[in-house]
Homo-oligomer: A and B are copies of this chain.
């Protein structure tokens, strides 16, 4: 079975595993207060122009999302998200569980717009019954989105401008950040994210690590008490240096970006193969996730050999499926898939 079902089906990139094994006999202080974490924070900060930013390492994406959001908001404040946002649909109500409404706007290809944010914020500003409604106080986007699409620098800048205008926090979920940065046509850098967002994260779990997400907080007012929120919510890993070691491996020599570069290249090959075959894309994605529309027959031909993810019915005769590449795929695997697509 060759796996294109997701980007978290193998333990970790070999260099990440090596970094963990290299310290297998070394002792460290607990809870992230160790030199490996310090070094990893410094490595990450080389990519942003924010010396005073805070970096924290958490274990997983849902955990990161709800802790960032609840640490930022008061209980009557809400977070604006595209209706396809991970926090809205795939986290078992984790945000609501911390007491906050997710105010959704209709996404387009997984993205929301500055204009949509402005409308929600303006509606609150002009409302005469403010205490009867939730106050939108944060904007959540994912980069890349759940559909693999990306925002342009201009789009992010515009959203950021609306956030500043209406005093909203801007939070960017980077669970798959590396694939977004490596996308064809992407003009956004980590420095841009640090400049325009109040808080964002570099996902590890889906980008080569065993687990772990690196949260970067640039807005001072979001820094206070963050470690207390982490501990209270079970996100302060006892052996924090395991996260430090992994993020060092990912960032000190640019592995995070290189790994994504080849994954995206693979995805583009697969995309082209489907296109050449006349198979339609469900959503046009420049990153490692490719959503295509297959007939049952086509699915049956590919499924004995390849793992891919079923997303739902498209119409009477066809279905949406996802092919997802990662650091764990090889060029040979991709070439084999391409050949099999050609034979469909």
Select which of B8, B20, B62, B235 is within 8 A of A30 by beta carbon: B8
Q: Given known contacts A9-B28, A131-B228, A228-B130, is B1 in contact with A234 (CB within 8 Å)?
A: no
Contact B24 A17 (CB under 8 A): yes
Counting CB contacts under 8 A, is A316 at the interface?
no
Q: Given known contacts A8-B238, A131-B236, A236-B131, is B92 in contact with A76 (CB within 8 Å)?
A: yes
In residues 208-265 of chain A, which contact B (Cβ within 8 Å)? 210-211, 225, 227-239, 242
Counting CB contacts under 8 A, is A115 at the interface?
no
Counting CB contacts under 8 A, is A100 at the interface?
yes
Interface SS, A side? loop
Considering only CB atoms, which chain B residue lies closest to A14 in the complex? B24
Counting CB contacts under 8 A, is A198 at the interface?
no
Q: Which residues of B contact A101 (CB under 8 A)?
A: 93, 96, 102
Mark each residue of chain A from 117 to 136: 1 if its CB lies under 8 Å from any CB of chain B, else 0.
Answer: 00000000000011111110
Q: List 20 A-B contacts (CB under 8 A).
A: A10-B24, A21-B21, A62-B232, A62-B234, A62-B236, A67-B234, A70-B75, A75-B232, A76-B229, A93-B99, A93-B134, A93-B232, A94-B232, A94-B234, A96-B96, A132-B231, A210-B239, A210-B242, A211-B239, A211-B242
Q: Which residues of B contact A111 (CB under 8 A)?
A: none
Interface size class of A (residues with CB under 8 A): 35 or more
Q: Which residues of B contact A211 (CB under 8 A)?
A: 237-239, 242
Counting CB contacts under 8 A, is A59 at the interface?
yes
Q: Which residues of B contact A102 (CB under 8 A)?
A: 101
Counting CB contacts under 8 A, is A296 at the interface?
no
Mark each residue of chain A from 17 to 37: 1 if its CB lies under 8 Å from any CB of chain B, else 0.
Answer: 100110111111111000000
Q: Which residues of B contact A75 (CB under 8 A)?
A: 70, 93, 97, 229, 232
Q: Which residues of B contact A328 (CB under 8 A)?
A: 27
Bound Cα distance A134, B231 (Å)? 10
Contact A234 B99 (CB under 8 A): no
Select which of B23, B92, B96, B236 is within 8 A of A133 by beta carbon: B92
Kindly list 11 other residue pairs between chains A and B, CB separation below 8 angstroms, not including A11-B20, A66-B234, A92-B131.
A10-B28, A14-B24, A62-B232, A63-B234, A75-B93, A76-B229, A91-B232, A93-B99, A131-B228, A131-B231, A211-B239
Bound Cα distance A238, B24 (Å)? 23
Contact A30 B6 (CB under 8 A): yes
Interface centre among A29, A60, A92 (most CB of B within 10 A): A92
Bound Cα distance A316, B140 (Å)? 33
